[in-house]
Structure 1
Amino acid sequence: MTTLSRRDLEILECLDSSPSLTAIARELGVSQPLISARLADLERECGQPLIVRTTTGFSPRPAAFRLARSARRALLALDAADDSFAALASNNATPAERVQIAASLTVAENLLPAWLALMGSPHDISVTVTNSRRVEALVTAGEAEVGFIEGPYPPTELSAWTITDDDLVLICRAVDPPELPAGPISARALIELPLVIREEGSGTREVLAEACLREDVRLPARLPQVSSAAAILQAVRHGSLAVVPELTVRDQVAAGEFRAIETTLGLHRSLRMVTKSGARLSPVARRLARIVRADR
């Protein structure tokens, strides 16, 4: 019976998230022939192919997805054991290098705290919270190892993994709401209402702008713009309308503070984790990425 090494687990973990064996080799800091040879050994030992090799990379077979999930859980357990051992030797430990990450407001406020809690023992992580366009710029420039963005499409210059989907919703205050036209709100009707929107570069604004364009409507420059989720909600409490992530206001809508309004816009987007293409992540950044992928 084959006993899998940590490197074997790391290779298997990458099968559901990397586009090619070359990308796996870069991520793990080894040669592509080594990855190819070891994967062939693993396929032979388990008695079936795990991937379909193509001219541009590979496609995982169903067994590869199952093994990737199992390998990720095993590696998280090994990470926890490493933490326990490191705690015993903490007096001799050298300070860890700070890891820079960047996150959009939606991810930073609703998902990132739980992921950081799952990191276990304290790690030196610095988080920049900004809009999605700025997150992409920070990762591209190497100023953040890992980024979290929101929007309708993945960036073309970065490696991206979909974390989850999150619809946007048009809301108003539930008590004494503004006067609204009958039926679902169209883009043309929406821009005539007291609407507050996010600033340029926001993933939420990008999805709203694209949805309006599908109905041949552009967001007018006269609309008030704010860069804070808290400020958006405060404006709604004072009588404005806003398009916000459903993830952000789910509890307030359920509690009756805000009211969700039906639209014709189809406000759908994905939340994604991004890294610089071809970059090898530090151990702490790789562990965070592992936690995020396991939480999908």
Structure 2
Amino acid sequence: MTLSARLPDLRTLELFCEVLAGGSIGAAARAQDITQQSASARLRALEVQVGAVLLVRGPRGAAPTPAGVVLVEWAQRLLEVAGQVDTALGALREQGRSELSITASMTVAEHLVPGWLVALRSRQLRAAHAPTAVSLRATNTAAVVAAVREGTAQIGFTEGSQPPVGLSWRAVGQDELVAVVGPGHPWARRRGPVQVRDLVAAPLVCREVGSGTRQVLDEALAAAGHAPVVPLLELTTATAVREAVRAGAAAAVLSRLAVASDVAAGALVARQVAGVDLSRTLRAVWASGQHPPAGPARDLVALAAARRSTPGSAREPRLR
């Protein structure tokens, strides 16, 4: 249903009803915190819009015409419903401020979101705001996009190579995939990067199709003229991939963020891959609009962008 241009806006109808309730344009103007001149102009515009004279103006105030009596009855019913909708929207907004549902890709959920949530809680404490109840689901990038589209998550964080189609987004970090092996692997003794030709010929432990890590790897190989990898093992979490590599199963390609602690501890060795671009942008995504939903979701995205992770930070392994 498409409403016609004859339907006045709610504030003007509210002004009209207040004039008839008090019998004075001046009193109605003061109730809406506007000048009497502005109120009179709006009422004249209302009459033009409706196509009928609605008020008889006199020295003792304003009185409704027959058309005005009809309109005020309809307007009061409409304003009553609008008030109920306004109250309901206010309740939804308050719920949005007290609850925050997040869906994030594995790398972002494990290595970045916890720090962002601590910063959000600290900000709320400083502002004396009630704490937000947060639910976080860690999954792959494809499932993140689906959750945001379906409305089961207010905000999502992805790690794919391209922004998801049909969603709004903001970059919150930069990341890069690297080849990782156990200390006994031949690549661990190399002094320099792994060549892409060696990578595609080697048995690899990989994340599943649908993960941002796998998407970036396959698309980067395709751009360099190579076929997608055929994994030796396909696992659904970066933790499982790391454990398989540490056990000596094979090499893997993972986020620098995901392997930083293992590389620092000497449990894994990380190498850059020459001949292919494995960089990627980490993004916050939401359903629509230029900005994320108002409240904690918007605050969280702002904090994440301000603290955005970039290659070479202290949290990431030094590569050779």
Q: TM-score range by the shorter chain?
A: 0.5 to 0.7
Go from structure 1 to structure 2 and tell me whether the alpha carbon gap of 1:254 and 1:268 turns closer, same or farther (over 3 Å shift). same
- Deviation, structure 1 residue 261: 2.5
Q: Which residue of 2 aligns with 1:101?
A: 102
Tell me if structure 1 keeps the 8 A contact 2:172–2:304. yes
Could you list the per-position Cα deviations for residues 140-179 of structure 1 after superposition, in whole angstroms to 9, with x for gaps in the alignment? 11111111000222123111111111111101011x2147
Q: Which residue of 2 aligns with 1:248?
A: 258
> 3-state DSSP class of the match of 1:266?
coil
Letter aligned with residue 177 of structure 1: H
Write the distance in 1 (CA, Å) between the matches of 2:120 and 2:113. Answer: 11
Tell me if structure 2 keeps the 8 A contact 1:96–1:124. no
Write the distance in 1 (CA, Å) between the matches of 2:95 and 2:168. Answer: 31
Go from structure 1 to structure 2 and tell me whether the alpha carbon gap of 1:94 and 1:163 turns closer, same or farther (over 3 Å shift). closer
Could you list the per-position Cα deviations for residues 260-284 of structure 1 after superposition, in whole angstroms to 9, with x for gaps in the alignment? 2242222111111111122861422
Go from structure 1 to structure 2 and tell me whether the alpha carbon gap of 1:295 and 1:95 turns closer, same or farther (over 3 Å shift). closer
Match runs of 1:139-218 below 5 Å: 139-174=148-183, 176-178=184-186, 184-218=193-227
From the CA coordinates, give the structure whose radius of gyration is larger.
Answer: 2
Q: Which runs of 5+ in 2 are unaligned?
A: 1-93, 126-130, 309-320
| More moved, 248-257 vs 223-232 | 248-257
Write the distance in 1 (CA, Å) between the matches of 2:207 and 2:103. Answer: 18
Tell me if structure 1 keeps the 8 A contact 2:206–2:235. yes
Aligned match of 1:286 in 290, 298, 304?
A: 298
Letter aligned with residue 163 of structure 1: V
Q: Which residue of 2 aligns with 1:277?
A: 288
Write the distance in 2 (CA, Å) between the matches of 1:232 and 1:288. Answer: 29
Could you list the per-position Cα deviations for residues 20-60 of structure 1 after superposition, in whole angstroms to 9, with x for gaps in the alignment? xxxxxxxxxxxxxxxxxxxxxxxxxxxxxxxxxxxxxxxxx
Letter aligned with residue 299 of structure 2: R
Write the distance in 2 (CA, Å) between the matches of 1:256 and 1:103. Answer: 28
Write the distance in 1 (CA, Å) between the matches of 2:164 and 2:96. Answer: 34
> 3-state DSSP class of the match of 1:272?
strand
Number of matched pairs: 203
- Deviation, structure 1 residue 286: 2.2
Write the distance in 1 (CA, Å) between the matches of 2:259 and 2:265. Answer: 10
Matched, 1:267 2:268: no
Could you list the per-position Cα deviations for residues 171-207 of structure 1 after superposition, in whole angstroms to 9, with x for gaps in the alignment? 1011x21478977434443233221011011111111
Q: Which runs of 5+ in 1 are unaligned?
A: 1-92
Match runs of 1:104-119 below 5 Å: 104-119=105-120
Letter aligned with residue 268 of structure 2: F
Tell me if structure 1 keeps the 8 A contact 2:173–2:305. no
Write the distance in 2 (CA, Å) between the matches of 1:130 and 1:285. Answer: 19
Aligned match of 1:258 in 268, 278, 283?
A: 268
Letter aligned with residue 119 of structure 1: L
TM-score by length of 2: 0.58
TM-score by length of 1: 0.62
Tell me if structure 1 keeps the 8 A contact 2:262–2:268. yes
Go from structure 1 to structure 2 and tell me whether the alpha carbon gap of 1:139 and 1:238 turns closer, same or farther (over 3 Å shift). same
